């Protein structure tokens, strides 16, 4: 069943008119949903009771039951394990940045776009668990609204950024993801600036090209994790679908059409992809691409076969890239102690159905 969060303003106006109410009621409902973060229609006191009852029956709020929530030691990262209406489990993370080191006072929500993931990355807990289904646009939006509501209720800072870096491959669920982006960005929605929304992909070439043609200039992050095809296919079993040359060509097209740089995510694994030679190969692969490389020491997964490199080796890899003109940083780690990496918390739960 469709939920309130699945519809645009125009679509909601049509539905409300069909219910016999004036179109302006749609704006009132959206105001309650996205500005006041109402958790039910009962809170919408300036909307007639009869209309509220019909909306609740035909366009309910998505079922998003928080199974567990963990907070990092510094209180700046919180991760939720959420059970959807059909029992599927997803994860959502809120990341606050220390205002002493972050003048923008960012508050970022990392959302899932699928329950599970079909990409099969060997270093990712979600990839090891398999794919279950795509999320709806409403289920994606609801993840953000849930944290926005909590921040508002507790006097916390407003949300500033949304990243599609949780469970799933966003560009394999393009229609729902883009509808969610539209609601997140809309002035009558959550009002998140397009440039503060980032979509991450493992290298879904058709999706990258579609994204390059969109009106909203959201950010693009591409997970590489290897500088050559053979190693990449070892780490990402589905990588053969879109070879590295095709991915890089699509990224060049994205840069040309949008004028925005691409972020390349590179998960560093001890003794696997972190040598100076591999850093030089990565720099050669990205030569001439307007980009930034985000180096991410790998998070542990249950099988324990892949470990993170020593800090010295991570910094040596960074220096090698920088010396060849590639802009790069080592990601600030947040929430390792609460299994904040994608799929970890879900994998630790025993699910009772």
* Residues whose CB falls within 8 Å of the CB of residue 322, separated by 6 or more in sequence, listed in order: 328
* Cα three-residue angle 262-266-268, rounded to 5 degrees: 165
2 labelled catalytic: no
C-alpha of 303 from chain center: 25
91 labelled catalytic: yes
**E strand or H helix at 248, and its extent?**
helix 244-258
Q: Which of 117, 121, 328, 342 is catalytic?
A: 342
In angstroms, the CA 247 to CA 333 distance is 27
In angstroms, the CA 130 to CA 117 distance is 5
**E strand or H helix at 83, and its extent?**
strand 77-84
CA trace torsion 68, 74, 76, 81 (10° rounding): -10
**Residue 197: left if φ>0, alpha if ψ -120 to 50, beta else—which one?**
beta
Tell me if 51 sits within 8 A of 66, measured CB to CB: no
* Cα three-residue angle 293-295-297, rounded to 5 degrees: 165
Q: Which of 91, 139, 169, 265 is catalytic?
A: 91
Active site residues: 91, 342
């Amino acid at each position: 069943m469709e939920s309130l969060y699945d519809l645009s303003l125009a679509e909601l106006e049509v539905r409300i008119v069909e219910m016999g109410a004036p179109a302006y009621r749609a704006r009132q409902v959206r105001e309650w949903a996205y500005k006041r973060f109402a958790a039910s229609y009962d809170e919408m006191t300036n909307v007639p009771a009869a209309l509220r009852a019909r909306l609740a029956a035909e366009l309910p709020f998505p079922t998003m039951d928080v199974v567990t929530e963990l907070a990092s030691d510094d209180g700046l990262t919180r991760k939720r394990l959420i059970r959807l209406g059909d029992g599927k489990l997803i994860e959502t993370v809120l990341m606050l940045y220390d205002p002493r080191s972050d003048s923008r006072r960012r508050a970022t929500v990392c959302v899932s776009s699928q329950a599970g993931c079909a990409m099969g990355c060997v270093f990712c807990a979600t990839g090891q668990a398999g794919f279950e289904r795509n999320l709806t646009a409403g289920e994606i939006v609801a993840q953000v609204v849930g944290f926005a509501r909590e921040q508002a209720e507790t006097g916390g800072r407003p949300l500033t950024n949304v990243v599609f870096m949780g469970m799933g491959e966003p560009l394999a669920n393009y229609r729902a993801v883009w509808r969610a982006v539209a609601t997140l960005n809309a002035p009558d929605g959550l009002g998140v600036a397009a440039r503060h929304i980032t979509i991450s992909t493992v290298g879904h070439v058709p999706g990258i090209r579609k994204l390059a043609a969109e009106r909203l200039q959201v950010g693009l992050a591409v997970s590489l994790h290897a500088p050559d095809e053979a190693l990449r296919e070892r780490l990402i079993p589905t990588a053969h679908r879109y070879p590295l040359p095709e991915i890089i060509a699509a990224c060049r097209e994205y840069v040309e059409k949008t004028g925005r740089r691409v972020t390349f995510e590179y998960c560093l694994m001890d003794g696997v992809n972190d040598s100076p030679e591999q850093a030089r190969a990565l720099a050669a692969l990205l030569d001439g691409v307007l980009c930034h490389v985000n180096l991410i020491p790998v998070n542990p997964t249950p099988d324990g076969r892949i470990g993170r490199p020593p800090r010295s080796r991570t910094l040596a890899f960074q220096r090698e890239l920088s010396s060849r003109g590639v802009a790069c940083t080592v990601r600030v780690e947040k929430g390792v102690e609460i299994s904040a990496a994608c799929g970890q918390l879900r994998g630790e739960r025993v699910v009772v159905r």
